[in-house]
Structure 1
């Protein structure tokens, strides 16, 4: 059941900072008010915490073309994407955050895919904070709140409540430790990643050590709750976690990040064991290890492999491209391997080539990209995604080409 009261409250909250859009960052000092009152009343001046508001975000245009062969008909779609990030600070201990993404999509995908419009507005969270404001046969306009939280810090304790990103990952491609916010590697245009409706506690015990506990509720009222301990030993960050995922799986895992010489090493492993009542579900153990290295100030490379004892059985390209819904569903092949190399020949240009191998699908992914800075805060991106796989005993080849221009403010 979706929470209309919470939704209405957050909508009102979203409207309050709109007047601040004319300025990227404004600060209001409560101390000025106190000083004025002190002069008028003759009372002693008292120090008050500073209240400040920051506003940022970006606006982008993204065009996508889908085709099997360049000589065959293309499926074309375009999206105007605007993101607004609001943060209000009450001194150094309390932070309020509200972040929205607004998308206007037009083209063949809306017209040809009957589920596209409903999928765009789908919200897996406890509160339904995604709305299709307007739609037609060839367009849809969507607004979504993916961050809405209050954060309180007192000494070594930090508490955050609301829609937030809980990032427990260590590796760079696949993250079986990331229990709360799984995302698709192929969704390059959503760098902020999804959020969870959750309550999180962090108690810092040292510069690189902490104890955490978090609980989230999804749209089906399923609970994911876990605790994590993180510490550093021999210049290596280690973490251990345990909890329950989606009300159905006992979950335990570990992760690390360190270095051997100039090579960074990152890994994660998680066991998902079905609890009593999770009929038909199976154990799944996922483990991944990767290395990355910066060869100079211009070239970086990474490689990562993953094992899954119970990979997800998929039958369509949409399932492959969309990725798993949870950390338990990351793998489509018993073994997978990924690699990426990035080159920056000069400061304004970045070239990248990434690839993923799915042996069980007799398939692979290849993705070259170009990023170029056109002007201050204006970037151009070209990305090509090529997929080859065998799904439902049928060979599939699909190409997706993207052009994006983004202005950040």
Structure 2
């Protein structure tokens, strides 16, 4: 089937290339998953103490906190920011928004000391991306996590400035994708957001997966932005810093913070539970007893979970847990809060891929073009893929993706590992 006919079959017209780069998105390793949230978070220069977080938890409006985890322009010491702190903060219910304050463009406003010239933008973006991955891993942030590069406000009128920023962001994105991470950008509404929105459909630059806009207008919204229309970064891919430095006091603890709202990706971390089976628990390569056994867990042992997937029904549940080695165990034998369904704060396992055409793609109620239309995804948006199943032939593949919200779309229009067959580590749908 030609591309045009395939497009007509799923209800879209005249597709044009929108895939930013052949390497996008990441080739996810088995022990990975994306995590997305919708809610409020705060950012502050130094990662707060666990005592401060405990005072704010449940009293403040925030459920997430930013962490400045690296970069040569990072201005604050981070005595609290360690792997044990990450584990404790997330165990206490905090989502983490990792921010890397790397080199800035030569045309940046302000006095940040480390800057790249236009000629060095590509090398600097790649170097910062590689360093960010290494530092994220050292803190226990897993592949599938979103890492945000801080791009401060800059002078767009300076010759070569916009090109330098776009180049840096593209190479940052590629470096993260090669390692299995999602690439986010923090930027001012009138410089970085404006310029990245204008190059959104570029076929030579790698498109970042998420955008975090700075606009201090006290309007907490991830839509109707003045410099990035709602069709860009449209599918759980946005955050906004809507209020700058100010003091807030909750639970008797005062911090100087910025206020933010997010509907997008954050850090993925391991969460510890216990094996509740009476005998040895088999670890399988997929969410079903039909998959090969790749290991075992002893009764009562601690098991670290990444995410949860739908699979074979065992006892009262069809939920399976992906563990730290990438394998799966039935949730029936793990001490998660629910014995029948998914358990917060664990996320549904997902491997997002960008929609590779510029026009919206219809989603369906099942894996085929004969199923009812159940919505659409904008061109270039992220398809949050939970599992894959055979369905109607579209283009070069019969593979269809079930998204984490239950909708289906043809894999032909999602830029994951394969355009013809199933893509590891995405499991098969039951």
* TM-score exceeds 0.5: no
Specify which structure has the higher proportion of helix.
Answer: 2
TM-score range, shorter chain: under 0.3
Relative contact order higher in (CA < 8 Å, ≥ 6 apart): 2
Specify which structure has the higher proportion of strand.
Answer: 1
